[in-house]
Amino acid sequence: MTDEIQRDNTPPPTALETIVDKTLRTVSDADATAASKRVDELRARQPHATTEELVEQLIKQKAMQAGMVGAATSAAALIPGFGTIASFTIGVATDVGVTLRLQSELVLEIAAAHGHAPSHRENRNALLIVTGVNMGAERLVNQASRKLAEKAAERMAGRFIVKAIPFFGVAISAGANILTTYAIGKRANAYFALGPDAVGDWDSTFRAVTGVDERKLVGWLADVMTAFGALVGDRLVQMRDATGRLAQRTAAGIRQRFRREQGE
């Protein structure tokens, strides 16, 4: 009876906490091995790069990927019919789950870049410490990503994509993913270079990131939105052409049927 009362008084996990826990539980030793292989391949291509330079490239790669996921997911909700386009081009899934997966891979890659080969338990502990952004910093992320979107819109003023889609809403979502992924990368770098105590809290992390690296992040967001615009444009052209061909075939079929009926 006491156990039942305790269970009833325990607040159920939020949907976000459930996604985080599920994602972290699926991170396996195979993921760490794959992350180490990607880092080895990057180091082989750039043998003279320092660890910090490699980490910066790893962070940028994952931040851009996460930004594209955020843009596609947001566009699927904001633009009528875009879900069909996105499913053919990006494979839109739950943004939080996909993004957290990318961020978890980034943490493992940064561990490998620093020469760490932690156990599965140590990997999970590092992920819990480093990727805790979604648990308490939503307000900070929203404010910072809105600012990034405004700066990106200023930089891209006059371009077709700014006029063709709900740019600001899509850019906020993409910017939030870029920002959180970048911050997680910085936290992971501190964790594996200096130890857990160097990670700090999320308030200080975001102030440092938005205070020092805002121009860089705006540039990344502008690049993501440019690539996203090209992707959407190409797919729309393909759909327009396919629709045109379908209309032509339909018209031809109608004409043939009409002629047969007239001949009869």
Over residues 168-172, the mean pLDDT reads 85
C-alpha–C-alpha distance, residues 250 and 219, integer Å: 46
pLDDT at 130 (0 to 100): 79
C-alpha–C-alpha distance, residues 16 and 186, integer Å: 22
pLDDT at 249 (0 to 100): 53
pLDDT above 90 for 95:
no
Q: Locate 191 and state its tokens.
A: 């964790």
**Beta carbons within 8 Å of 213's beta carbon, 6+ residues apart:** 182
C-alpha–C-alpha distance, residues 59 and 144, integer Å: 18
More confident residue, 53 or 242: 53
pLDDT at 94 (0 to 100): 52
Query: Which has the closest alpha carbon to 188: 204, 176, 200?
Result: 200
pLDDT at 46 (0 to 100): 93
Going by pLDDT thresholds of 50, 70 and 90, the confidence category of residue 53 is very high
Using one digit for the tens of pLDDT, what is the confidence trace for 106-150?
A: 999 999 999 987 777 777 777 777 776 555 567 777 788 888 888
Count of CB atoms within 10 A of residue 137's CB? 19
pLDDT above 50 for 34:
yes
Q: Token match 């003023």: residue? A: 157
Query: Which has the closest alpha carbon to 111: 100, 101, 98, 125?
Result: 125
Half-sphere exposure of 258 (CA within 13 A, CB side): 6
Using one digit for the tens of pLDDT, what is the confidence trace for 208-261?
A: 777 677 888 999 999 998 888 777 765 544 444 443 444 445 445 545 554 565
C-alpha–C-alpha distance, residues 91 and 22, integer Å: 20
H-only helix segments in the chain: 2-9, 15-26, 29-45, 51-78, 82-89, 95-113, 120-130, 133-136, 138-155, 160-164, 167-194, 202-212, 214-263
CB 78 within 8 A of CB 164: no
Q: How far is CA 188 from CA 110, 175, 197, 230, in A?
A: 7, 20, 12, 32
pLDDT at 118 (0 to 100): 72
Q: At what angle do helices 214-263 and 51-78 cross, to 10 degrees?
A: 40
Query: Which has the closest alpha carbon to 110: 204, 191, 44?
Result: 191
pLDDT at 49 (0 to 100): 93
Q: Is this structure's pTM higher than 0.85?
A: no
Q: What is the mean pLDDT of the chain?
A: 74
Q: Locate 179 and state its tokens.
A: 């920002």
More confident residue, 89 or 79: 79
CB 175 within 8 A of CB 210: no
More confident residue, 161 or 263: 161
pLDDT at 252 (0 to 100): 52
pLDDT at 137 (0 to 100): 64
